[in-house]
Chains A and B, each alone.
Chain A
Amino acid sequence: MTWQPVVGLEIHVQLKTRTKMFCRCANGFGGGENTQTCPVCLALPGALPVPNRIALEWTLKLGLALGCEIPKRAVFARKNYFYPDSPKGYQISQYDLPSCVNGRMLVPSSAGDHEVGIVRAHLEEDAAKTVHVGGRTGRIGGAEHSLVDFNRVGTPLVEIVTGPDIHSSEDARRFLQLLRQTIVELGISDAEMEKGTLRVDANVSVRPAGSAELRTRCELKNMNSFRFVAQGIDAEVARQIAVYEAGGEVVQETYDFDASSGALTARRSKEEADDYRYFPEPDLVPVEPPAELVERLRGELPELPSVRIRRLERELDLDRALVLVTGGLDRLYEATVAAGAEPLPVANLIANRLATSAGDAVDASQLALLVGARDRIPRAVLDDALSHIDEPGFEAAPYLAQEAVSDTGELEPVIARIIDANPGQVAAYRGGKEGLLGFFVGQVLKETGGKANARVVSELVRERLGA
């Protein structure tokens, strides 16, 4: 039987507002443990929450970017549970009436746009950070003692819940890349998985291909990179298929992903089911965003990454378009092309040679000049130019003045030496491994100190070996 994976994602995004969600404490890293706290976030008796207006607006912004409807009324609720990371004994979170509902994100794929439903995006507060000392598992059970740092408690957190619309680990990764880029471009979060400002849980099930049923799902947690999310999904899909094919049933469970082994470990089942006893938070009034505010925020939205990918696809292939857009480099690409450079070389050079962070600092007209001269100037000079291109006041002119060695008489003896020195690679090339051309060109460039014209060398080598 062929099986289809069914994946829904729950994504938590820490907002980088200046202050916390319900108090005026500074939000973010910095300061020693328990220095960014106050009566409200420490849950001293009588302290009351006051919602952060910016966090509410940013949530709406994100919801609008994800095509969500903005209900007239959102309500904060209390999610009650005992744990040392929850000083009030409850988390304030939107529950049955969230800020954003019923959106969708289009994920471009080779088979056309793939639509992932956004069930909801709601605002809540993050928990404190706990460290469990002693014991074997690093968990609270069996620990000798636990330490709590309340700096993080109360950080605004948006939770985005997708429909079960994702059917491969690759689709999941692509969705997350696009979502992350959307969040970063809205300027509301750094959305870095390594730092925990973006966290992803995956609900995974499988079903016979062609069926529309939803079978028992398992939840995967603790995957702190997009690659691990994909690995985790693949591993869980394989596990569930094996269970079904052996005649078994999948049991609903939560698994932790172990990055070092790629293995999934089931969490110890709780003695009783969770009952969070949600009820409307009586310390807060309902949130009723005025229509004018929603329209203003909608008007402020930048052009979305998925739309830009579709536009770039007219000149480039999907993969290159994705890399440029999710790397935040597509605006530089478009500006460089507009400055007169050829699209494909610009895309390759930007995608392969420039750091994501450099994008905004680069002067497209200067980059266009370098792209135009890329075959004429020595490779070493091009490399040198690219390493300085994001510096203020960068000028391409001095680099363009240096010609690469294209003189056949000068290059031929070097090429001959390299070919003689590598009989094995020569035989392999002639046996059909044409990819080795790059190896020979690279050796010649190295021998000439990067001054040889790579295109000329490449032609000469091909001629020589083709004989």
Chain B
Amino acid sequence: MGVSSVSSVVDTLRLTAEEAAGLVERKEVTGAELHRAYLDAAAERDPELHCYLRLVDEPNGDGVPVALKDVISTHGIETTAGSKILAGYVPQFDSTVAARCKAAGLPIIGKTNTDEFAMGSSTENSAYGPTRNPWDPERVPGGSGGGSAAAVSAGLAPWALGSDTGGSIKQPSALCGNVGLRPTYGTVSRYGIVAFASSLDQVGPVAKNVRDCALLYSLIAGRDERDSTTVELPEPVRLPEGEDLSGLRIGVPKELNEAEGIEPGVTTAVQNAIELARSLGAEVGECELPRSVEYGLACYYLIAPAEASSNLARYDGVRYGLRVDGESYREMVERTRDVGFGDEPKRRIMLGTYALSAGYFDAFYGQAQKVRTVIAREHAAAFERFDVLVSPTSPTVAFKLGEKAANPLAMYLSDLLTIPSCMAGLPGLNVPCGLSEGLPVGLQLIGPQFSENTLFRTGHALEQAIGFDPVPERLR
């Protein structure tokens, strides 16, 4: 079967991973042809979008290809985490999630762009240049996992894995109009994930719809003996079906829905989705998360940089990655880190080092950990009354490149709504719920620990009812 006839079967913009798997199963295409179709799409559209840092020409499996964010270690494939300091670093081992994808027969199609060390909300902090939003190339795809989200939206990958510390899966999915899951902390192995903030980092799927998202999650989740913080799933992942939401109790946290800076178009789309949920049988009520929203962001910007300052200490030029020589060991380390790290990692290393310093620890890191407990309790209290909490994922639709690049605080506010549940270790799902100014709006569904099946059920029902078209208008 020639390439042209494959392209007629495989419309990578529309094809879901589940459909693609069906094509392969029915032998309508081979895995290699499927892989080629996505490479062809990348050849056509990635020069403009820059979703990929590198592509893999030869598939290493017969299944549906998967794109991996470049913080995910891949044996034999350069893994840079979007940083110059890891330029040329080729892992000698697979991360557990990469190994599980391979074991499930999913060939890796490429490594996607990310803010350096996953630090950012626009993918503009990548040392290898920004990724552009497939809905409007003048705009950012969100971040840090903008590469994975944009690749899925632009049909350059059927699905992808990202990593989420404070919103790096959910927020780009919202801005690119696809479905992204940040799983419950501890359900997906972090082994082989270039660490940003260990107590927050979680790998999760990005897909065109909720069923694909659930399917990919089922392939990567579960206890890994190489990651002591992982647990076995209490129940198997169920692929969602149907539109009925009767019996489901949906809470609308006031602070997450009325926060300053939420665009009116975003509020409208989210409210419409909530009304749809009610019409599908869900009970909807208001609730409050006052301290989670008031302190979540500040708390996050103590804990995440503190852990990052320690996690990034290993990039010293001694064993791998960049080395800039110096007259002494200390000078070599200083030069390597000065040249190798961009501004955002440097900023967070300084913040984190300060927060952990003798005399400041109790007031900053110690206090932030206490607040984190308060945030977890506040969420737990809300889940006594509700099964799912909803809010916008991002206060805004995709913003323009450069718009917030010079103002780190404005950029940090992009994660205002995603951070509180991350701090509590809770799962969160982004489902597209409409357009505002021609750009996708994301609905955030938050559940208690291990409630992924409930999130999938809710997300799938809403997705069916909303009928959002995930293909960017300019590519249709």
Tally of chain A residues near chain B (CB < 8 A): 31
Q: Which of A86-94, A246-254, A328-336, A444-452 contacts B (4 or more CB under 8 A)?
A: A86-94
CB <8 Å contact, B357 and A277:
yes
List chain B residues, Cβ under 8 A from A343: none
Q: Which of A42-50, A107-115, A187-195 contacts B (4 or more CB under 8 A)?
A: A42-50
Output the least CB separation between A145 and chain B (Å). Answer: 9
Q: Is A372 close to B, CB under 8 A?
A: no
CB <8 Å contact, A275 and B95:
no
List chain A residues, Cβ under 8 A from B353: 277
CB <8 Å contact, A140 and B320:
no
Q: Is B226 close to A, CB under 8 A?
A: yes
Output the least CB separation between A127 and chain B (Å). Answer: 13
List chain B residues, Cβ under 8 A from A46: 71-73, 91, 95, 190-195
When chains A and B are docked, how far (Å) is the Cα of A140 from the Cα of B320? 20
Q: Is A243 close to B, CB under 8 A?
A: no
Q: Per DSSP, are chain A's interface residues mostly helix, strand or loop, or mixed? A: loop
CB <8 Å contact, B316 and A275:
no
- Name the residue in A46, A140, A277 with the highest tally of chain B Cβ atoms < 10 Å from its Cβ: A46
CB <8 Å contact, A48 and B333:
no
When chains A and B are docked, how far (Å) is the Cα of A466 from the Cα of B316? 80
A148-B318 CB under 8 A given contacts A44-B92, A51-B228, A141-B328: yes
CB <8 Å contact, B365 and A45:
no
CB <8 Å contact, A82 and B92:
no
Q: Per DSSP, are chain B's interface residues mostly helix, strand or loop, or mixed? A: loop
CB <8 Å contact, A42 and B319:
yes
A279-B79 CB under 8 A given contacts A45-B314, A46-B195, A89-B314: no
| Closest residue of A by beta carbon distance from B227 | A48
List chain B residues, Cβ under 8 A from A50: 225-228
Residue from B198, B226, B313, B319 in contact with A282 in the complex, judged by beta carbons closer than 8 Å: B198
When chains A and B are docked, how far (Å) is the Cα of A282 from the Cα of B310? 11
List chain A residues, Cβ under 8 A from B330: 82
| Closest residue of B by beta carbon distance from A150 | B319
CB <8 Å contact, B328 and A45:
no
Q: Is B199 close to A, CB under 8 A?
A: yes
Output the least CB separation between A335 and chain B (Å). Answer: 46
Q: Is B306 close to A, CB under 8 A?
A: yes
> Which residues of B224-280 are within 8 A (CB) of A?
225-229
List chain A residues, Cβ under 8 A from B193: 46
CB <8 Å contact, B318 and A87:
yes
| Closest residue of B by beta carbon distance from A140 | B329
When chains A and B are docked, how far (Å) is the Cα of A84 from the Cα of B332? 11
Give 24 A-B contacts (CB < 8 Å), ordered by A residue: A43-B314, A43-B319, A44-B73, A44-B92, A44-B93, A44-B320, A45-B81, A45-B91, A48-B191, A51-B228, A80-B356, A88-B314, A140-B329, A275-B357, A275-B358, A277-B309, A277-B310, A277-B356, A278-B356, A279-B307, A279-B365, A283-B228, A283-B229, A284-B229
B residues in contact (CB < 8 Å) with A: 71-73, 79, 81, 86, 89, 91-93, 95, 190-195, 197-199, 225-229, 306-307, 309-310, 312-314, 316, 318-320, 328-330, 333, 353, 356-358, 361, 365
